[in-house]
Structure 1
């Protein structure tokens, strides 16, 4: 359905299942039907929302596509990110949308979407685990969590796939006895994977005992954030058309866009972080 009245889909089913919605930055000329025609091949589309200016009703070049399954959304992201659509020669941006209720300030990387955490028989070896999960996609590695003192398996393991869609397929289709969930993002400050596994295993162990339907994924992801530029720098007739904001508070693109869009006429905004300080800069 074409959004001509500022209608935004209700929050009731947009995050069910988690990670089943993608965020697009596309040409303003693309319509909902054009988006549907190109993205329908990846799975059952439940909803498309083209974001429009509340006053002019013109597209802002931003859209959301909701799929029935997380694996479908991940595959659409993998196949369509960087492609060109319609008459535009500019590559589109395709990202997994963050949960509408998320307050995360972190931009999610592919690694955060490719590792799953599973419950396994204590007799399983790493080869056994790989054998069980390789049907969903190439397994880059697996690591069984072991007792630090005895070296015995705790009956828990991490499995890392090459692609987010492979991990999503495993969660959706593997035997329910594995109680597979998406693993918590690794602590990038840890000195080794084994330290990281042990430090996060307590939290993952408690989550793994929840009913599968309640714990398919362990965390929520980003929504409007993580796209590089909504548009290249446009010709400016005067300096008053561009605003630069500097903040010590960590912000993501969706928060800034929602705040600045209160004033009619916003065309785009982008976050630029200083790697050597705590400042974040925003150009609008």
Structure 2
């Protein structure tokens, strides 16, 4: 059996995209790990599966698998690549594309010069809906991480995020604290861990240790979560440039209950087939 794929990237966060709109693809954790392996497979941070719609009013269903084979609810950079894929493949003629995900519906907008704008939905700060174990909702939380006190913001963008404010992103303990916070027992479904440096009210720097993938060059939902947490702390305005190792995203959020909007690039790298 040969499986056709497209390799795509958004700010260096790379994806294998599979079209399952005409024929189902049984993507189990073992196959996902094989496809994601950079030595024995294709290599990627995540695999994106394009399926027929499940939710009313949507054109497609969008599934995301991490490099470790785990399925997750949402991926911002992947959403932009998803939009570019279905448009370039002729699977839709629309520039506004409603898509269903495990976290609910989202809307993707194809714009000029390869940019894609995504309605990421409203951020969620209520602990049980992140999910995060806490007695009550707070602006931030003091967590014991291997005997060290770490202050975090907890937010969901359809998937769970912990945001840690640092003074210097270059020396931030991403490799040391990232995996410890990712698997901390207060996050029952594990968590993406963002290390954020605030440069100005309209500019953040961010590195993200992603759940099931390790540190990546960019994380769209992580950028949204970091901006939402910083805005909730009144550290930034309503429109912010988030600089990640792979490049910049523009994130806009006005107020609680409203959607976060993310704008950034999506690029096809190559197409191919893999023998299974």
> As a proportion of its length, which structure holds more helix?
1
What is the TM-score normalised by the length of structure 2?
0.25
> As a proportion of its length, which structure holds more strand?
2
Q: Which has the higher contact order (CA 8 A, sep 6+)?
A: 2
What is the TM-score normalised by the length of structure 1?
0.25
